[in-house]
Copies of this chain bind each other. A is one copy, B any other.
Amino acid sequence: MAEDVHAKIEAANRIFGDGFERGDAVAIAALYTKDAALFPANSDIVRGGGNIRDFWQAVIGMGIKNAVLQTIEVEQHGDTAIEVGKYRLLAEGGAQADAGKYVVVWKNDQGTWKLHRDIWNTSQPAK
């Protein structure tokens, strides 16, 4: 069962990355629950599908072409799972624009695991 959730989360994360490749913020936002919250650095909390779409659209607009997500751990509690991972954001030609780590709280939404709480920060030195 835990293996199953792990695989499903990794599959959702690949769809997340594919959304960046296509520049499709609508597809990325669809991976979140209806009452999801993002916690981006240098920003207040971003809540709800429209705002989450707009946030990722802005990131795509900044030239991010892919998000590579590496799951480090998944801990399941019924319809909730906590994922810890590392990310890399890639710009044109695969140049690394950012790299860091994240914690995502996932919810099983009628059989589909969706991001519910999503927080990350950069591991790169302060500018």
Most chain B beta-carbon contacts within 10 A, residue among A37, A82, A102, A103? A103
Q: Is A110 on the interface with B (CB-CB < 8 A)? A: no
Q: Is the CB–CB distance between B105 and A119 below 8 Å?
A: no
Q: Is the CB–CB distance between B45 and A101 below 8 Å?
A: yes
Q: Decide: A84 near B42, CB < 8 A? Known: A119-B101, A119-B119.
A: no
- Residues on A lying within 8 angstroms of B by beta carbon are 37, 39-45, 75, 77-78, 80, 82, 84, 100-103, 105, 117, 119-127
**Other 6 A-B pairs with CB < 8 A, given A40-B121, A77-B77, A103-B119:** A42-B123, A82-B82, A103-B105, A103-B117, A119-B121, A126-B127
